[in-house]
Amino acid sequence: MKAEQISVFLENKAGRLCEVTGVLAEAQVNIRALALADTSDFGVLRLIVDDTEKAKGALKKAGFTVGKTNVLAVEVPDRPGGLHDILNLLQSSGINVEYMYAFVQQSGSNAVMIFRFDNTDNALKVMQANGLRVIDGKTLYGM
């Protein structure tokens, strides 16, 4: 049920992000979602793409440092308090969210959020036990 995310190390300087998107365009990889975390010196770009291995290979070949992590794509009811209910559940189950960001496409009438947990397996169990819909990787990449 997990989804794969690739992460790329970037120095904080002009044009770097553009180079990443350029490499992916060249490799015919479609970006499904993305989030950037940065400090004053460097940033970490996280991406969900339609073909993880292809993207990783192309970026590595272009000289980038690339990592791969498991994340969960979770359906969030598109209404006030929808996200809060999920975070509340995680909080009471003692699960930490390392970071999260929104997926571009909706799943039916629900929004989709990408979550990175300190313990992904635990988080998955809690989600499923509480009837939350976790979208598996294959479905996600093709959405």
Partner 1 sequence: MIYDIEYETMPREALEAIQFRRLKATIDRGYASVPFYRKQFEAAGITPGAIQSLKDLQKLPFTTKQDLRDNYPFGMFAVPMENVVRIHASSGTTGQPTVVGYTARDVDTWACLMARSLMAGGATRGDMIHNAYGYGLFTGGLGAHYGAEKLGASVIPVSGGNTKRQVVIMKDFGPTILTATPSYALHLAEVADEMGVSFRDLKFKYGIFGAEPWSESMRGDIEEKLGLVAVDIYGLSEVIGPGVAMECYEAKKGLHIFEDHFIPEIIDPETGEVLPYGETGELVFTSITKEAFPVIRYRTRDITSLNPEPCICGRTMVRMNKVSGRSDDMLIIRGVNVFPSQIESVLMEMQNVEPHYQLVVDREGSLDILTVMVEVSESMFSDEVKTLQTMEKEITKNIKDYLGVSAKVKLVEPKVIARSQGKAVRVIDNRKI
Which among 23-31, 60-68, 72-80, 132-140 is the span making contact with partner 1, rule CB under 8 A?
60-68
Q: Which residues contact 140 (CB under 8 A, 6 or more apart)?
A: 3, 32, 48, 73, 103, 112
Q: Which of 47, 40, 44, 36 minimizes the C-alpha distance to 9? A: 44
What whole-number distance in Å separates Cα of residue 127 and Cα of residue 71?
Answer: 13
Q: Work out the burial of residue 50: count CB atoms within 10 Å of its CB; fewer than 13 is exposed, 13-18 middle, 19 or more buried.
A: middle
By CB under 8 A, the residues from 122 to 141 that bind partner 1 are none
Q: How many residues bind partner 1 (CB under 8 A)?
A: 22
Hey, which residues does 97 pair with through a beta bridge?
117
Q: Using the minimum distance from each CB to partner 1, give the nearer residue, 76 or 116.
A: 116
What whole-number distance in Å separates Cα of residue 127 and Cα of residue 91?
Answer: 12
Whether residue 93 contacts residue 86, with contact meaning beta carbons closer than 8 Å, is answered with: no
By CB under 8 A, the residues from 5 to 44 that bind partner 1 are 5, 7, 9-11, 16, 37-39, 41-42, 44
> C-beta of 86: minimal distance to partner 1 in Å?
21
Among 25, 67, 91, 136, binds partner 1 (CB under 8 A): 67
> C-beta of 69: minimal distance to partner 1 in Å?
5
> C-beta of 135: minimal distance to partner 1 in Å?
20
Residues that bind partner 1 (CB under 8 A): 5, 7, 9-11, 16, 37-39, 41-42, 44, 46, 63-67, 69, 98-99, 116
